[in-house]
Structure 1
Amino acid sequence: MAESAVLHLLATFAPFLQEEVNLLTGGVREEIEYIRDEFARMTAFLRVADSMEENDAELKVWVKQVREAAYDTRDVLDIFMLCFRHHGNGFGRFLRKFSCFIMTLKARRRIAFQVQRIKSKVINISNGHQRYKDKYGILEQSSRSTWYDCRGDALLLEEAELVGIDKPKSLLIQWLMQGDPRLKMLSVVGTGGLGKTTLIKKVFDDAIVKHNFQNHAWITVSESFKIEDLLKGMIQQLFEEVKQPVPQGVENMDTNSLKGIINAFLQQNRYVLVFDDVWDIHAWQSFRYAFPNGNCGSRVMMTTRNEDLAYFAANGYHGNVYNLRPLLPEESWILFCRKTFQGNPCPSHLEGLSRGILKRCEGLPLAIVAISGLLSIKDKTSVDEWERIYRSLGVELGGNGKLQSMNKVLLLSYVDLPYYLKLCFLYLSIFPEDCFIDRGRLIRLWAAEGFIEMKEEMTAEEIAECYLNELISRSLIQVAEIRTNGRVKSYRIHDLWREIIVSKSKEQNMVTIASERGRTWPEKVRRLSIHKHLQDIQQSKCFTQLRSLLIFDATYSLSKLSMLASSNGGLRLLTVLDLKGTPLETFPNEVVKLLHLRYLSLRKTNVKIIPKSIGKLQNLETLDLNDTYVTELPDEILNLQRLRHLLLYRIEKEDTYFSFHYSFGFKGPVKIGSLLSLQKLSSIEVNHGNSGGTILEEVGKLTQLRRLHILKLRSEDGRALCSSLEKLNNLRSLGVKATEEDEIIDLDSLSLPPRLLRTLYLEGCLQRLPHWIPSLHNLVRVCLRWSKLRDIDPPQSFQGLPNLVELELDQAYEGEGLCFQSGGFQRLKRLSIYRLKGLRWVSVEAGSMPHLEELYIGNCKLVDELPFGIEHLTSLQYLNLVDMSDGLISNLYRDLQVEEDYWKIAHIPNVWIGESTHGFWRGHYLF
């Protein structure tokens, strides 16, 4: 964390020393350069200190001092830029104007004083740096042993071993005993506290396993280990088991010699080895070649929190991966009562609170055992005490009570993170409890906060995606929702992980959460997350160094925020402002004074007009106006040359199922092509006056676009759009909607379609399907609405697309039948067929859509039978029928009564019949 703060500061110094610092005296410049050099000297040691501070209180204080000094220095630099940029249109002009020099003389003196004060602080910190460098070797060793002892070899899980363990234990033993003579690898993966060690220990100790293998060894790796010590311990176990003396000279052997002894010992034996708590691929590769790859039917088992490592190891040795899941609710309750009430039933007056506490454990055995251990010594007659524990669970996790051991076990995963992921992970504390965290929103926030370390040939958003995947791989965040195209829509955090990161974030003063009255506020609030109310906000003196402000579920007036923004320096350093869902009626005038702002979200507010002064926010990267009532953006938006995400799209909620005019975008400036950094443009209307063709030509200049949504396209502008699309080689998502449902979308002149396109939405009349669609092998989702095709059966054009996962046809075809031929749609998972007024039948041949999971058919009134061949869709999980003919429903009920017909749909777990009224669906499950 401190390293991240320093690296962000060092990145700020580079442009500052090139330009801005020339406005100060030479002495101040030298002092700033001294501060920069001292921070640079500390970075290498900070990388080590960040991982060791948990076990050394004095070191933790020093790291905190470094972090706060870095933040304060960055504040001074940014305030400096604000002061001088406010008084002129450029530095050259400023230098030439003596009057401006006099006006800013006071600011110069104030900044010089601040620089001297920081220099003095940095000198003291540097002395501590040297002291810790001298202590480094001893400290590193003691740190590792302390963390290993805290883990305690899963002793906390001893009482969990008989709950929910039978099935996975049987499966693992079955895998071990399979007759394959090759060496096989079995990986058990899951988050900390799930009971991986307990499970695999029960397997390892089972009599069948002991009997069927000649040699056995259990090696605990942990997040920090010395390969020599690990190998020596393994040799000792192997030789002691067969009652042979350990070879002489082992203590002085190098790594290769130790591996050679192990390899020779196991060469002709059938062995089972366990490597418990392996953290990364590097650790695995450091000892994987110590055991021979013979044909004796030997097995290696491993536990890890890293999913990528689990599959890497298993794939290398013809193995299996077992993803250990949380306990089921009933299993959790059994374990909880066994520990808390010593096997007795839960008293009725405590059941509600007990289940509430248990819910926060989310099936994590370690959490259940630790929390129930705490509750077991509490008075069973005192509801107040139990309620206090429920309310203050986060405090208990951070204290010295029964839960501290669990906290340390879980915290191991945090300590193991690289510094850049620690920052991103702790940032999740900014979201409320039980919040589903939108993927796109989180990525844009991380980028705006400056958390992303840039790499060549990758955008910040692509790197952030990699960060998210790594956090998932380490079992630190969970996927909450997946889109039908297979991409993650949102994430969530385990309740106990959230308690830990909120506590850690508070400790490091990264995020301040305003959600409770009477809380203690830090001296300097840098990121503020407001949950539901503003009553607890203190005076504005706390917020002059605020960098980020996010508001969730606001139900109040924002007058207090306006006061904060306009008084005593206000929010002048703000880089992130997220007012999503607040009761705003007009654009806040104070916002245009926030010249450092990179991220601005007014999503789901009632704002209607964006002022011309928006052009002042020249650092803005994200402008999110989705679900507002803004219909036009001023030309001054073109000043925002760093803008990467321009989101302005609104859906009219009522009657969306029937109306063509359900979506609205914005009228943009004619020269929108000058926003060369744009990656997302959604959704721009192109039918205004004579500028439609011009705007479409401008779109072709936006070569960084990943997502483009065009509304109100006229027939005559199709060729201009095609010409621009041929230049957008980075495009992944394209949406095009005509001015009216009978307006023809003509995209046939497109000769070089964007080869990376993953999603395609076409809304409007098509004389024919664009000839280039079958060539887009990356397409994952296709949606055709109001296409009204006549001469071609749409499935024929799409069936060969190798990656197509979702296909939606809504008023897209006017023929009588749809035939899904054998061999087509090999990856399709979701098929939606709506309002095909001429459709009478659907046919599915054997071998078509083998992985289809969801089939939706709606308002196809002439269809009176289920799709012919529906029995071939063996993977189908959901069949939804909405607004279908009475004949089809009657025939369906008839089939349920006739055994020879019922078998065709008996394999479908969920069949739903419904009807729509004003865009809302209602219905019931058939069975």
Structure 2
Amino acid sequence: MTDAVVSFVLEELSKFVKEEGNSLTGIEREFKDIKYELESIQVSLKDADTKAADEGGGGANEGIKTWVKQLREASFRIEDVIDEYEYSKYMAENNNHSGFIASLQMIPNIIKTMNSRHQIASEIQDIKLSLGEIKERSQWYAVKSESGLESYRGVKAPRIDDTRMAPYFIQETQVVGFESPKDELVRCLVGGTSELMLVSVVGMGGIGKTTLASHVFQNQVVKNYFDCRYFVTVSQSYTLREMLIDMVKKFFMDNNEPIPKFLWKMDNNTLITHVRQHLQSKRYLLLFDDVWKESFSDEIEDALISNDKGSRIIVTSRMMHVAEYFKKSFLVHIHHLQPLPPNKAWELFCNKAFRGQCPAELEDISNDVVQKCGGLPMAIVATAGLLSTKAKTVFEWKKASKNLRMELERNVHLTSLIKILSLSYDDLPSHLKSCMLYFGIYPEDYTITTKRLTRQWMAEGFVRCEERRNPENVAEEYLTELIQRSLIHVSKVGFDGKIKSCQVHNLLREVILRKMQDLSFCHLMHEGDEQVTVGITRRFSIASISKNVLRSTSNSGIRAIFVFDKDELSKDFMDGLSAKFKLLKVLDFENSLLNFVPDNLGNLFHLKYLNLSRTKVTVLPRSIGNLVNLESLDLRHTTVDELPREINKLTKLRLLPVYYRKYDEHYSMLNFTTGVQIQEGIGCLKSLQQLYFLDADHGGIDLIQELKMLRKLRKLGIRRVRQEYGNELCATIQKMNHLESLYITAIDEEVILDLDFVSAPPNLKVLNLEGRLTKLPNWIPKLQYLVKLRLSLSNFEHDPLDTLKNLPNLLRLNLWDDAFSGDSLHFSVGGFPKLKELDLTRLNRLSFVSIDKDALVDLEHFRFNNNPQLKVLPKDLQNLKNLQFLGFADMPATLVDSINPEKGGPCHWIINHIPLVRIRQTVGSKFHDYKLYSIPTQFKV
């Protein structure tokens, strides 16, 4: 765990030394010496880190824990002194003003900088002494570690007293919630192709993979179908040789043959030959339980002979990428095991806690406990086992439930569960451990948006810089790996398959909280969730603010502060942030009641990420221009309508989303979203990759010309565009070769958007045009990578679908607000081959929609919204066999009634094959004033 901290600091040191290059003198050379010293210590760290995390070990382990703690704190000091030095250097470089009067004015700052550099030099010397002492002790621990205690993680196979043995011996009648997956797996094993097939069961630790696989393995139908069956526990520390020897031993024993005397001396090739010879003539079933590495597939492939007899292999793993890798060599069926549904979770809990019915007086408490277990069978069984030992009284159960977190650390029923969940974290590479710990910063049951999370990782320096690669893409790969390791649960996926939000399981969060505390990663100030701050901590997560919340800490090395509290933030609190925590890199106030930004915000020289979205902030201070390292400024859903001129000094700024949506007012296409006014000089922001929504009307053609300098832009949103800006806007957009998302909105409904680019932006994926078009621009049908297209107010007189239907990768199409002014739309055969979502909204003249039988073959979501002339249900909806959702909002009553079986709707048969059909009806003047109800179909939702 500390290895992650040391690795991060070493990366920072390496980056610093590289940037300084050959100019290393004085203090800079000292940093190079520290780097070499830290690298030599790191060699001894990994083993010591594992033992420091071990629960046992007595005095020897306590000594290792102390050493690891000292090394971690020394690493923190190194990180602090690097940041202090960079700030001091920046101040010195910016104090070089010409002129006598200017020099006199800067004397106080020069003296302050000199004192700072003296303090830094002194701190560096002290750090070097500390590292020398830590290095001496590391040599002693390196010797001791050779005879160290057996780590839980290193066990090759489950012991008899190991919690992981339990699934092998659960009776068939005790298994709850696996009926459906068990039937699915049995069908895969005993049916289908005669070709060798591998069935993989994937899921997080404790979800029941081994329980499910072992019961399928022991199923009587399965037993009768196969000539021979073998169960092999792989685990993390397997060796191929030991596993092959074990398999050969079992083969000889099953045949009542003596085990060869020289079995242990055989090489791998001989062992593989024995395995192949034994399996050659048999329909065999092999179960490899708890596989962790992709390389396992390559290592075992030669031994698993394909004899066209319907042989099968079962693999259980926490890693989706491990399961996927088997596809390289085998026909694979993957079953992603899900948490138990609430009814099955309740049944399992009652079976274990009461051996039957739950007493009425304990139902509420029991429901809360089951909910905390999040459908994880092992957690349910362990918690129920603990509570079954308590007196069946409300008082005793309330006390046990309240102290569940404490019980996780000391009760034999739960400590093994925590160890098993910890295995997945411990297996992570160091850079992903830091990313994983970030999930503990957010409150329990919090749904975390992907962009927010990955941008915080980037600001903290957790995302490794890779040449020619966008850091956002690298961060998304980190998140994907955590998901594939079954550590993170995906909450929402976008129409394009990208992950929008995610969560961590409550029990896994408990593991993270313990790791965070051990590592001084973050101090929680959550109601009922607060940990005691001991020594150094690097982050504050504040969900419950007290008056002394920051005043009481002397820790100035805080790197990130997150505010989730719903109370208003006082001026003292806000002023204190900038004054006290000058090394801050991340400051997140999203969805809080913050209503102002303090003038001293500019003190935060190192700040890289500032999130003010969904706050009540209306104005930014001019001091924001001092945040020269700022990379992300999030002003979404705020009423900030003008940015100070000083914003143009932020040459490292990459992300600038700023807009407000008027949900409390009557909807209007052009005025629903407001943008921001930016002063002259925006062309200086050459690192910008996202800028939306910009009010073009404020700067006019001069502003649009300046945008040509922003060659790295990937997302541009520009509003209030006048007709005379057309030519200049086209010329500007053509300069943006990296542009992926483009939003253009006219200043009013009568303005014609003339957007005849000479050539289309080559990488455009998202296009949103709001304004009158004399014709469909001829470059739109040529957008090979376009996945989302929204046209509004276009007033096309002729059906545009025939021109658009061949867009090869289009997934979502929205035609809104008289984009089409005709009365009939036709979706022809073969058109829109990949389209998944279609939205026809406020097309005031539309009265007829026809869909050919083989059109829209992949469509999953179809919405009709406020099309007053469409009074008859399109019968061709029956052709959309893959449709999962059909929505009608504010549509004519005749159409809605025609599909409602409760009103004898004659057209209900047309939509009866669709799983979800939903009706929305506006009931007020505001955007969210509506009621919803569903039309019943043959599917139960």
TM value normalised by structure 1: 0.93
**Alpha-carbon distance between aligned partners in 1 of 2:401 and 2:600, rounded to the nearest angstrom:** 41
**Which residue does 1:333 correspond to in 2?**
346
**Which residue does 2:39 correspond to in 1?**
40
**Which residue does 1:642 correspond to in 2?**
652
Q: 1:442 aligns with which of 453, 456, 462?
A: 453
Q: How far is the alpha carbon of 1:730 from its aligned partner?
A: 2.3
Larger mean CA deviation between 78-87 and 31-40 belongs to 78-87
User: Is structure 2 residue 457 aligned with structure 1 residue 408?
Assistant: no
Q: Output one character per residue of 1:159-181: Cα deviation in whole Å (capped at 9) or x when no partner.
A: 78521223222221211112522
Q: 1:216 aligns with which of 211, 229, 232?
A: 229
Larger mean CA deviation between 409-418 and 712-721 belongs to 712-721
Indicate the SS of the match to 1:403.
helix
Indicate the SS of the match to 1:192.
coil
Q: 1:756 aligns with which of 756, 763, 772?
A: 763
**Which residue does 1:705 correspond to in 2?**
713
**Which residue does 2:939 correspond to in 1?**
none
Q: How far is the alpha carbon of 1:18 from its aligned partner?
A: 7.6
Q: How far is the alpha carbon of 1:264 from its aligned partner?
A: 2.6
Q: How far is the alpha carbon of 1:503 from its aligned partner?
A: 1.8
Q: How far is the alpha carbon of 1:788 from its aligned partner?
A: 1.5
Distance 1:695 1:400, change over 3 A: same
**Which residue does 1:848 correspond to in 2?**
855
Instruction: Look up the equivalent residue of 1:713 and give its one-letter code.
Output: V
**Alpha-carbon distance between aligned partners in 1 of 2:846 and 2:110, rounded to the nearest angstrom:** 78
Contact persistence 1:6–1:70 (CA under 8 A)? yes
Contact persistence 1:185–1:299 (CA under 8 A)? yes
**Which residue does 1:204 correspond to in 2?**
217
Indicate the SS of the match to 1:395.
helix
Distance 1:22 1:313, change over 3 A: closer
Instruction: Look up the equivalent residue of 1:717 and give its one-letter code.
Output: Y
Contact persistence 1:156–1:370 (CA under 8 A)? no
Indicate the SS of the match to 2:199.
strand
User: Is structure 2 residue 464 aligned with structure 1 residue 465?
Assistant: no
User: Is structure 2 residue 927 aligned with structure 1 residue 904?
Assistant: no
User: Is structure 2 residue 313 aligned with structure 1 residue 308?
Assistant: no
Contact persistence 1:47–1:419 (CA under 8 A)? no
Distance 1:724 1:49, change over 3 A: farther
**Which residue does 1:456 correspond to in 2?**
467
Distance 1:458 1:305, change over 3 A: same
**Which residue does 2:661 correspond to in 1?**
651
Instruction: Look up the equivalent residue of 2:264 and give its one-letter code.
Output: E
Q: How far is the alpha carbon of 1:101 from its aligned partner?
A: 6.5
**Alpha-carbon distance between aligned partners in 1 of 2:868 and 2:445, rounded to the nearest angstrom:** 42
- Structure 2 portions without partners, runs of 5+: 937-941
Q: Output one character per residue of 1:510-541: Cα deviation in whole Å (capped at 9) or x when no partner.
A: 01110137742122231000014335625354
Contact persistence 1:156–1:369 (CA under 8 A)? no
Q: 2:197 aligns with which of 184, 190, 211?
A: 184
Contact persistence 1:193–1:366 (CA under 8 A)? yes
**Which residue does 2:577 correspond to in 1?**
565
User: Is structure 2 residue 336 aligned with structure 1 residue 323?
Assistant: yes
Instruction: Look up the equivalent residue of 1:925 and give its one-letter code.
Output: S
User: Is structure 2 residue 130 aligned with structure 1 residue 118?
Assistant: no
**Alpha-carbon distance between aligned partners in 1 of 2:326 and 2:174, rounded to the nearest angstrom:** 26
Instruction: Look up the equivalent residue of 1:341 and give its one-letter code.
Output: F
Contact persistence 1:52–1:143 (CA under 8 A)? no
**Alpha-carbon distance between aligned partners in 1 of 2:352 and 2:515, rounded to the nearest angstrom:** 29
User: Is structure 2 residue 751 aligned with structure 1 residue 743?
Assistant: yes
Instruction: Look up the equivalent residue of 1:903 and give its one-letter code.
Output: W
Contact persistence 2:301–2:329 (CA under 8 A)? no
Q: 2:933 aligns with which of 921, 924, 927?
A: 924
**Alpha-carbon distance between aligned partners in 2 of 1:60 and 1:227, rounded to the nearest angstrom:** 34
**Alpha-carbon distance between aligned partners in 2 of 1:704 and 1:247, rounded to the nearest angstrom:** 68
**Alpha-carbon distance between aligned partners in 1 of 2:253 and 2:198, rounded to the nearest angstrom:** 24
| Map 1:181-580 → 2, pairs under 5 A | 181-314=194-327, 316-343=329-356, 345-381=357-393, 383-516=394-527, 519-535=531-547, 537=549, 539-562=551-574, 564-565=576-577, 570-580=580-590
User: Is structure 2 residue 684 aligned with structure 1 residue 670?
Assistant: no
Instruction: Look up the equivalent residue of 2:122 and give its one-letter code.
Output: F
Q: 1:599 aligns with which of 600, 609, 619?
A: 609
Q: How far is the alpha carbon of 1:145 from its aligned partner?
A: 4.0
Indicate the SS of the match to 2:764.
coil
Q: How far is the alpha carbon of 1:445 from its aligned partner?
A: 0.5
Distance 1:745 1:217, change over 3 A: same
Q: How far is the alpha carbon of 1:806 from its aligned partner?
A: 1.6
**Which residue does 1:865 correspond to in 2?**
872
Q: How far is the alpha carbon of 1:633 from its aligned partner?
A: 1.6
TM value normalised by structure 2: 0.92
| Map 1:145-156 → 2, pairs under 5 A | 145-146=154-155, 149=158, 152-155=163-166
Q: Output one character per residue of 1:845-894: Cα deviation in whole Å (capped at 9) or x when no partner.
A: 10111232222112211112111311111222332222222433454458
Q: How far is the alpha carbon of 1:155 from its aligned partner?
A: 0.8
Contact persistence 2:197–2:312 (CA under 8 A)? yes
**Alpha-carbon distance between aligned partners in 1 of 2:47 and 2:800, rounded to the nearest angstrom:** 59
Q: Output one character per residue of 1:789-838: Cα deviation in whole Å (capped at 9) or x when no partner.
A: 113x1322332223222211112110010111122223222211111111
**Alpha-carbon distance between aligned partners in 1 of 2:11 and 2:334, rounded to the nearest angstrom:** 42
Distance 1:706 1:507, change over 3 A: same
Larger mean CA deviation between 90-99 and 409-418 belongs to 90-99
**Number of aligned residue pairs:** 917
Q: Output one character per residue of 1:108-165: Cα deviation in whole Å (capped at 9) or x when no partner.
A: 4433332232222211221233234445555597565448548643416837852122
Indicate the SS of the match to 1:592.
helix
Instruction: Look up the equivalent residue of 1:301 and give its one-letter code.
Output: I
Contact persistence 1:4–1:419 (CA under 8 A)? yes
Q: How far is the alpha carbon of 1:728 from its aligned partner?
A: 2.3
Contact persistence 1:397–1:500 (CA under 8 A)? no
Q: How far is the alpha carbon of 1:31 from its aligned partner?
A: 4.6
**Alpha-carbon distance between aligned partners in 1 of 2:578 and 2:493, rounded to the nearest angstrom:** 42
Contact persistence 1:733–1:758 (CA under 8 A)? yes
Instruction: Look up the equivalent residue of 1:835 and give its one-letter code.
Output: R
Q: How far is the alpha carbon of 1:478 from its aligned partner?
A: 0.9
User: Is structure 2 residue 743 aligned with structure 1 residue 730?
Assistant: no
**Alpha-carbon distance between aligned partners in 1 of 2:892 and 2:52, rounded to the nearest angstrom:** 69
Q: 2:79 aligns with which of 70, 74, 83?
A: 74
**Alpha-carbon distance between aligned partners in 2 of 1:65 and 1:258, rounded to the nearest angstrom:** 48
Q: How far is the alpha carbon of 1:620 from its aligned partner?
A: 0.5
Contact persistence 1:95–1:101 (CA under 8 A)? no
Q: How far is the alpha carbon of 1:747 from its aligned partner?
A: 1.5
Q: Output one character per residue of 1:248-267: Cα deviation in whole Å (capped at 9) or x when no partner.
A: 32212333332232123222
Q: How far is the alpha carbon of 1:338 from its aligned partner?
A: 0.9
- Structure 1 portions without partners, runs of 5+: none
Indicate the SS of the match to 1:283.
helix
Distance 1:95 1:37, change over 3 A: farther
Indicate the SS of the match to 2:229.
strand
**Alpha-carbon distance between aligned partners in 2 of 1:301 and 1:287, rounded to the nearest angstrom:** 13
Contact persistence 1:278–1:284 (CA under 8 A)? no
Larger mean CA deviation between 361-370 and 277-286 belongs to 277-286
Identity %: 35
User: Is structure 2 residue 172 aligned with structure 1 residue 163?
Assistant: no
Q: Output one character per residue of 1:83-109: Cα deviation in whole Å (capped at 9) or x when no partner.
A: 454455158999999987655554344
**Alpha-carbon distance between aligned partners in 2 of 1:816 and 1:538, rounded to the nearest angstrom:** 63
Distance 1:152 1:743, change over 3 A: same
**Alpha-carbon distance between aligned partners in 2 of 1:95 and 1:42, rounded to the nearest angstrom:** 46
Indicate the SS of the match to 2:911.
coil
Q: How far is the alpha carbon of 1:647 from its aligned partner?
A: 1.4
Instruction: Look up the equivalent residue of 2:845 and give its one-letter code.
Output: G
User: Is structure 2 residue 741 aligned with structure 1 residue 715?
Assistant: no
